[in-house]
Amino acid sequence: MYGNTYIENSEKQNKLTANEDPKKLAEFEARIAAGDKIEPHDWMPAEYRKQLVRMIEQHAHSEIIGSLPEGTWITRAPGFRRKLALMAKVQDEVGHAQLLYSAAETLGKSREDMLNDLIKGNSKYSNVFNYPALTWADSAVIAWLIDAGAIVNQLANSKGSYGPYVRALERICAEESFHLKYGHDNVVFLATGTPKQREMVQEALTRWWPPIMHFFGPSDKLSVHTEVLMRWKVKMGSNDDMRQTFLDMYVPKIWDLGLTLPDPNLKKNEETGKWDYTEPDWDEFKRVINGDGPCNKERLAVRRMAEEKGRWVRQAILKKDSQYVAPLS
């Protein structure tokens, strides 16, 4: 899991490069166009740095917040096989946070500052984790389809321009592919199991479909213009394109299991080759991402509690002469 590329950005695009040295900017853009990777100590526009920090930080936060709804099910997983697999999966996700915070730190913001911004509510994480994982089947649907969505996003982003982020994503994608297998296997067992299991997984899928459709961010029609970010290879695909890729890969697999999706308009359009669907409720998306979802308060409260309970440990190991050092990329 769990990153998505939706960047909250209300600033006018023409301001993004207003104060940059035109010559350096031209060289920078030429490097990116040629497929070069930008490294931490290379020159970069202030806006490039800012947007990348924001994006990588959101991705890192999504990993640790995402470990909470799934973590709830580690202690409830039915049987050794599932328990061991889920523990390993969620551990991977926390490991991804570690990699991503390090990648963001190379751009000049410390992990501590990022975590403080998270618990103060100043920075976002993937909106799907503001919804509850009510049953074991929810955790299976998350592991399959949210991870699948994340892979679609992350594979695209792993072709981006910032070296440390790209390298982190390559490793993350390799691990995610196992999560996807775990999630799929889990959903298959439920969908082909007893009537009760089948009912559980259908209900979970119905519950999770709107957040899954939200996962890729608002429709391109509504999304803020991102041309510069695309040119800089910060953002690698449009929200709608990613959503189409996901639908194309996973809707047939869901239907194959005899499960249904709660959208009567969902079908592949023979003429356009694209999927038609009911436009997700973007007002709800905005409302939830801005703090008013079913679990926003709980997620941040848990994170805040963990930060507070662990503070004495972090303070105890700090030496007087310790100095902050950004991680290697």
The interface mask with another protein, positions 286-305, x = CB under 8 A, is: ----------------x--x
Q: Is 110 in the site for another protein (CB under 8 A)?
A: no
91/122 with CB nearer another protein: 91
**In the complex, minimum distance from the CB of residue 76 to another protein, in angstroms, rounded to a whole number:** 5
Contacts 24+ apart (CB under 8 A), 189-194: 190/137, 190/140, 191/257, 191/258, 191/259, 192/257
Which of the residues 184 through 213 are near another protein (CB under 8 A)?
189, 193-194, 196-197, 200
Which of the residues 113 through 142 are near another protein (CB under 8 A)?
136
Q: Is 325 in the site for another protein (CB under 8 A)?
A: no
DSSP H or E run through 267: strand 267-268
Alpha carbon of 104 to those of 99, 166, 168, 171, 231: distances in Å? 9, 11, 10, 16, 20
Calculate the dihedral angle through the C-alpha atoms of 78, 80, 84, 90, rounding to the nearest 10 degrees: 10
DSSP string, 149-175: HHHHHHHHHTTSSBHHHHHHHHHHHHH
**In the complex, minimum distance from the CB of residue 98 to another protein, in angstroms, rounded to a whole number:** 5
Who contacts 261 (Cβ-Cβ below 8 Å, separation ≥6)? Answer: 205, 206, 209, 251, 254, 255
184/235 with CB nearer another protein: 184
The interface mask with another protein, positions 25-64, x = CB under 8 A, is: ---------------------------------------x
Alpha carbon of 152 to those of 59, 123, 169, 276, 286: distances in Å? 14, 23, 12, 19, 22
Q: Which of 97, 141, 168, 229 forms a contact with another protein (CB under 8 A)? A: 97
Helix (H/G/I), strand (E/B), else coil: 68 = helix
Is residue 121 left, alpha or beta, with left meaning phi > 0 and alpha meaning psi from -120 to 50?
Answer: left
Nearest in space to 212 (alpha carbons), one of 136, 145, 268, 140: 145
The interface mask with another protein, positions 224-263, x = CB under 8 A, is: ----------------------------------------
158/186 with CB nearer another protein: 186
DSSP letter assigned to residue 38: B
203/263 with CB nearer another protein: 203
65/156 with CB nearer another protein: 65
Residue whose entry in the numeric block shows the structure tokens 């970069």: 44
**In the complex, minimum distance from the CB of residue 284 to another protein, in angstroms, rounded to a whole number:** 26
How many residues bind another protein, per CB under 8 A?
A: 44
91/290 with CB nearer another protein: 91
47/147 with CB nearer another protein: 147
Residue numbers at the binding site for another protein (CB under 8 A)? 64, 67-68, 71, 73-80, 82-84, 87-88, 90-91, 94-95, 97-98, 101, 136, 189, 193-194, 196-197, 200, 302, 305-306, 309-318
